[in-house]
Chain A
Amino acid sequence: MSGLRRRSAWPRMVAAVGALTLLSRIGYGHAQLLDPPAPVGQVLEEYRVALENKDLDQLAGLYVTFSDRQRQALREYMENAAGLTVELADVTVAPLGDAVAVTYTRRDHFIDRESGKPQRLEVRLTKILVPDNGGWKITDGL
């Protein structure tokens, strides 16, 4: 026996991961606001509520343009999604000229009427919001 204790690599790995995480946050910090400004947050909340209420007209009002194809696809999705709840999380906002780029994670929970099974869908999205009559409207996504 050499009498030397082998030091575990785990504390160093955890410290390295922690440091990298902090550095990545600092790197984003200059370009992104972690809390959305109130008007932008209001649009997102209206968007979320419109989805949960399956109110296509209210939803269409949040977009600059809302095509028939989009309306049809949303109608089919909503009709199939029983008890739909929508969660928007990890929202960040970055200025983009007059517009803003809003990035968020959308989580949908519902019962799939076709299969009868609960579904949990998640997607990370970036949307461009432009000023419109003192508010904001959704124009496009990335």
Chain B
Amino acid sequence: MLALAVLVRIVTDTEVVQAVPLDQVIPGLFGGTLTTTIQNNVVVPQAVESQRLRFASQFNSLSAELSAAHSQAPVPSASGAFRFSWDPEVDTFVRSTEDLGSGVAERALTLGRHTGTFSVSYTYTNYDTLDGNPLSDLQFSQSAFSPAFISRLSPADQAKFGTDLIHSQLDMSLSFNTVFFSGAYGITDNIDVSMALSVSQATLRAHIVSTIQKANGSQGDSFFLAPNFHLAAKSGTLCGFPDPASTNIHCATDGGSQTAFGTGDLFLRGKWHFYNTQYADFAVIGVLTLPTGNADDLLGFHDPTFTPWLIASKDFGRVSPHVNIGYAFRSGADVSQAEGILGADLRATKWLTLSSDFLGYFDDKRDGINDDVVQSALGFKINPFGNFVIGGTFQFPLNHEGLRADVIYTGQVEYTY
């Protein structure tokens, strides 16, 4: 009860303090626009123009992609290792010889009738790069004036101001601490149901410096509008200390930081192990996610999603390969994806299983943001005693596309009853 009270208190406090949703922190830098002028310190309407900042629009459309990226740290799967099943060849129940399973992939094996599992896992994701560029040094450039504005200037001014650029250098960080609580139960020997709910803390920090400069990096001829050396923007300041004699009106800066805490989406899952062959056993899984997480705070999807999966796996001695193929149907506010996992588990000892997987996520919306994400995962599961399983998984990026973490860490404790 005390823990619950503390949790409620944290959530309530966070909501009171939080003024801006997480997905608006970066689009909200400078209020999304900066005003440029060709006449310093003089407000002449014909000489000024508002510039919608390109990075603001880009990050505005990133929220759905971030939700998808965050969901790509999969719900840890139940091991299903502690079960008995009927073996018709020897006409008796036999203890499963399955290994402890992969931390990220599903196997065709179900838990078995009246067998249940409960697990708690912790995942830490700190995003490091966007399209291969470090998040601490993202660069954006755009013209300081629109072509229409330039066309109204004299030929001399066109030559002078027409090549000016607003160059923005963004230093940002985004991290998630996520705890997953999941439970699974075998309704029959071949059908499981499970549910999972996460609690996440997301922290986003951003600091930007925008300068007016030429393409070669030299100082530009135009200025940010700053009457009385106060930047004409919803937020932000001129760089450094205001100095009437200085030229720092070529440089503006802004920053913001927000932390959100709350539940993620609710995962409801059903699994049917429906067919066995000599080389592969098959199961289908349906995963319904309900948008209980706040999408504006990057904690979940905007709408319900449904993901059907086809699972194939088989034990060949100590090695158990598996393939998972699925498609996440999501609304237009989110991003639908084809998803796949290919890998194998190795039963190193009776109490230790090692796993290796490749994970792929392929957007149907080809907008150039996180379209094709390919990861690798290395993991282990240990059965230290009784029906407990402890596991760890490390995910690494195999391509540079989109918003990526160098390593995604997951630790898991599971109990089977």
| Chain B residues whose CB sits within 8 angstroms of the CB of A69 once the complex forms | 89-90
Question: Which of the 9-residue segments B6-14, B19-27, B92-100, B131-139 touches chain A?
Answer: B92-100
- Which stretch (B71-79, B80-88, B204-212, B276-284) binds chain A? B80-88
Which of A67, A76, A114, A141 is the one whose CB lies under 8 Å from B88? A141
Interface residue? A116 (CB, 8 A) = yes
Tell me which residues across on chain B come within 8 A of A67, comparing CB atoms: 90
Known: A108-B93, A117-B417, A123-B93. A73 touches B387 (CB 8 A): no
* CA A73 to CA B91, docked complex, whole Å: 9
Pairwise interchain contact B82-A73, C-beta atoms closer than 8 A:
no
| C-alpha gap A72/B114 in the complex (Å) | 26
CB of A73 within 8 A of CB of B87, answer yes
Within the assembled complex, what's the spacing in Å between the Cα atoms of A70 and B94?
11
Q: How far is the CB of A71 from chain B (nearest CB, A)?
A: 9
Contact of B113 with A by CB under 8 A: yes
Q: How many residues of B sit at the interface, in one of the four size bands?
A: 10 to 19
User: Is there a chain A Cβ closer than 8 Å to B386's Cβ?
Assistant: yes
Q: Is A35 among interface residues, defined by CB-CB distance under 8 A?
A: no
Are A80 and B95 interface neighbours, CB within 8 A?
A: yes
Chain B residues with CB under 8 Å of A116's CB are 386
Pick the contact of B92: A70, A115, A117, A119 (CB < 8 A). A70
List the A side residues contacting B94 at CB < 8 Å.
73, 76-77
Would you mind naming 6 contact pairs between A and B with Cβ atoms under 8 Å apart? A74-B92, A77-B93, A80-B95, A108-B93, A121-B84, A123-B93
The docked-state distance in angstroms from the alpha carbon of A69 to that of B113 is: 25
- Contact check: which of A115, A122, A125 meets B387 at CB < 8 Å? A115
Residues of A within 8 A of B417 (CB): 117
**Bound Cα distance A74, B86 (Å):** 11
- Assembled-state Cα–Cα distance A117/B386 (Å): 9
Residue numbers in B under 8 Å from A70 (CB-CB): 89-92
Least CB separation from A114: chain B residue? B95
Question: A73 near B90 (CB under 8 angstroms)?
Answer: yes
A115 and B91: CB pair below 8 A?
no
The reply to whether A115 and B90 contact each other, CB–CB distance below 8 Å, is: no
Across the interface, which residues of B come within 8 angstroms of A119, CB to CB? 84
Among A70, A73, A80, A120, find the residue whose CB has the most chain B CB atoms closer than 10 A: A73
- Chain B minimum-CB-distance residue to A108: B93
Contact A73 B84 (CB under 8 A): no
Residues facing A in B87-121 (CB within 8 A) are: 87-95, 113-114
Q: Is the CB of B92 within 8 A of A73?
A: yes
B417 to chain A, nearest CB (A): 7
